[in-house]
Amino acid sequence: MHTERSTPSIWTALAVLSLFLLQAINAHTIIVYPGYRGNNLQTNGTVAEANGLGQAVVNDTSIFPYGMMWMYPCGGMPTSTNRTKWPVQGGAISVQPGWFQGHATAFFYFNLGLGATPPNMSHPMLPPFQIIGPSANPYPGTFCLPQVPLPANITVNVGDLATIQVVETAKHGAALYNCVDIEFAEPKDCVQVTPDNCFNSSDIQFANVYTANLTSAASITSTTLLSFTPLVAMSLWELLM
d(CA 197, CA 135): 23
* Largest interatomic CA distance in the chain: 56
- The pLDDT of residue 138 is 83
| Residue 33 and residue 9 in contact, taking contact as beta carbons nearer than 8 Å | no
Instruction: From 79, 159, 152, 156, select the one nearest 119 (Cα to Cα).
Output: 79
Q: Which residues of 146-176 are buried (b: 16+ CB within 10 A; e: fewer)?
A: bebebbeeeebeeeebbbbbbbbbbeeeebb
pTM (two decimals): 0.76
Query: What residue ranges do the domains of the chain occupy?
Result: 10-240
pLDDT in tens, the chain (241 residues): 344 333 334 443 344 334 333 333 333 578 999 998 988 878 889 999 999 998 899 999 988 998 888 899 999 999 998 899 999 999 999 999 887 776 788 999 999 999 999 999 999 999 999 999 888 888 888 999 999 999 999 999 999 999 999 999 988 788 999 999 999 999 999 999 999 999 999 999 988 887 767 665 555 444 444 444 343 333 344 444 4
User: Which residues lie closer than 8 Å to 10 by C-beta, 6 or more apart?
Assistant: 196
